[in-house]
Amino acid sequence: MRTVSSRPRLLLALLGVVALLLSGCASIPTDGPVGVSAADATQPGGVTYEFNPPGPAQDAEPETIIEGFVTAGLSPADEYGTAREFLTPQLSRSWQPSAATLVYTGQPNVVGGAGAGEYSVEVATTASIDEFGVMQRFTEPRIETVRMVLDEVDGQWRIAETPNLTLLEEGSFIDVFGSYPLYFYNATYSHAAPDYRWFARRQSLASTLVRALLEGPQPYLQGAVVTAFPEAGELARNAVPVEGSTATVDFQEGVFADASALTRLRMQQQLELTLDGVNNISAVQMTVNQTAVALEGSQEFVEVSAEAEVPDVQIGIADGELVLYQGGGSTIEIGNIPNVSSYEPIEPAMSPAGAEVGGSQYAFLSGDRTHVYMVSQSTGADGALAEVAMGERFVRPSMDVHGWLWAVDSGTGKVSVIRASADEGLENRQTLEIAAEWLDGLTVDSFRVSPDGTRAAVIAGRGDERRLYVVGIIRDSTGVPRGFTSPIELPATVPLGEVVWDASDAVIVIDPSDSETVRPERVRLDGRTEPLNVLLGMTSISSGPGDDIIVYAEAQGTVWSQVANVWKDNGIQVRGLAYPG
């Protein structure tokens, strides 16, 4: 898969370039003056590049008009005002540039057609983006043909017909577009779940984000997240004006027709999370026909944060026993749990709600990976231990925020979830098998549920080929898992073997090796990647969301921690460290 570089490369715009014709074809060059950097008001602390491409030159030939029009797609300012100058007056009024964006690589070809004024622009596309910011990446470039028809207007060639889309060169994509999270909820409204979209940076961004939010989650999250807004919810006016730092979102009356006080609070919170920091927004006012919507308190309302943080304590194994590790040079004994050394435990996991000593639940694999065990901690007793799954070869178990343990058998592709409440005990546990047709024929190497419980990061493949997927988890309103959505693939530039969540919007992947140098890579849900420092003999990695969370690795028999992207040997021997989840 071709990936969009996360390092800005200035687009070299067309200026004073004569079209090169060859057998009726012309390539659109990418040489010329650069833009200027400026603060990005649409994202906190962001920097963008302002491009000022030229309008149509006097008496320009049709090919040059087309080339200038494509280049003008670099500037979304004034609703692509410069690009509209290349269109006939009628098309300029109706053209909708944000309906779609084709990201291309290489040089486009301008090909003359059979009829007068008919042309085609051929591009090798690496990704496409729809009007709601959903990006589709292509594993191999696809040839797309964009048809255009030119007419003369007052003796000057102008484009009279072209699709509602813009063309954007791959190397300049990150300079023009930004990645923005829309926020939905998990099944129980206890956590916020980000849905990343790509939009051109412009002053109307706030209204663009709200319209996309009302449209609902993108396909791979449909059924995995929920929204407080009704399906047919619409804005009363397209604009979302911002006065000072307050955005006013004016809805049609039907949006609140059946909305309870609780639902209105959830709507308000969704908007605040989605618009926070965009165009310097720090507050949101909901209105109906420009009249403020009344908000009343509700005991059921849960205030959620954009990042589902985990505690900074980890589960690990030392001297054959489950232990806690919280940095420094020592481990913490876990009281009131059974001795597990006879099971030769590996790959432990800890429940997100149980990061404090007392009342926690843990899981681990047997040394041969054929059994999954669950351990329940109890006060004043030895706790309980039970075998909860048996198979061919399990990957590390994962425990989600709803209390479910995920056991994935890489040998059979079977996915089981197990839940045991503290009141009922392990002997009365509930076990379900989750259909996972998308895993048919694939070998799973790593499976980790996200901190908000809405999706899973998965490394799987056939033969020696491995790919990184993110799949939505479908649950009922009480959080019980019921199935999976269709997965999406995320790009990674390093070999794959293990994945951990690093944030609500990012994972870290490695290909473990006890003898080779391993390079971890951070992969964000929007597709951007970031290399981390290499470490010799890295066999596992541990991370999680939160400002105080440190990335740890196991290498050369000891625990290492990351300090400013530099690895430090802590000199302690703990195997299989993992943050809660």
What pLDDT digit, counting tens, does each position of 422-438 carry?
A: 666 788 899 999 999 99
pLDDT at 260: 95
pLDDT at 384: 87
Q: Does residue 322 register a pLDDT over 60?
A: yes
Split at pLDDT 50, 70, 90, the class of 367 is very high
In this prediction, residues 452-470 reach a mean pLDDT of 96
For the domain with range 314-578, which CATH number is right: 3.40.190.10, 2.130.10.10, 2.40.50.100, 2.120.10.30? 2.120.10.30
pLDDT at 43: 53
pLDDT at 93: 97
pLDDT at 422: 64
Q: 68: closest CA among 80, 77, 37, 522?
A: 80
How many Å separate Cα 344 from the centre of its chain? 37
Q: Does residue 71 register a pLDDT over 80?
A: yes
Q: Does residue 346 register a pLDDT over 50?
A: yes
In this prediction, residues 455-465 reach a mean pLDDT of 96
Tens of pLDDT, residues 474-505:
999 999 999 999 999 999 999 999 999 999 99
User: For the chain, what is the mean pLDDT?
Assistant: 88
CATH architecture group of domain 21-176: Roll (3.10)
Comparing 1-5, 206-210, 351-355, 415-419, which segment has the lowest mean pLDDT? 1-5
SS3 303: coil
Split at pLDDT 50, 70, 90, the class of 168 is very high
pLDDT at 380: 58
Running DSSP on this structure, what letter comes out for residue 321? E
How many Å separate Cα 401 from the centre of its chain? 19
In this prediction, residues 69-77 reach a mean pLDDT of 93
Q: Which helix (H) or strand (E) holds 273?
A: helix 261-275
Separation of first and last alpha carbons in the chain:
30
Comparing 23-32, 190-199, 556-565, which segment has the lowest mean pLDDT? 23-32
The encoded tokens of residue 524 equal 């964000």
CB of 412 closer than 8 Å to CB of 461: no
Q: Does residue 81 register a pLDDT over 50?
A: yes
Q: Does residue 325 register a pLDDT over 80?
A: yes
pTM of the model: 0.87
Tens of pLDDT, residues 83-94:
999 999 999 999
Split at pLDDT 50, 70, 90, the class of 232 is confident
pLDDT at 442: 95
CB of 420 closer than 8 Å to CB of 399: no
Give the whole-angstrom CA distance, residue 287 versus residue 249. 6
How many Å separate Cα 195 from the centre of its chain? 6
Give the whole-angstrom CA distance, residue 208 versus residue 192. 20
Q: Where in the chain is the domain with CATH 3.10.450?
A: 21-176
Per the document, the length of the chain is 581
Q: Does residue 560 register a pLDDT over 50?
A: yes
Percent share of the chain, pLDDT over 70: 89
Q: 393: closest CA among 370, 373, 377?
A: 370
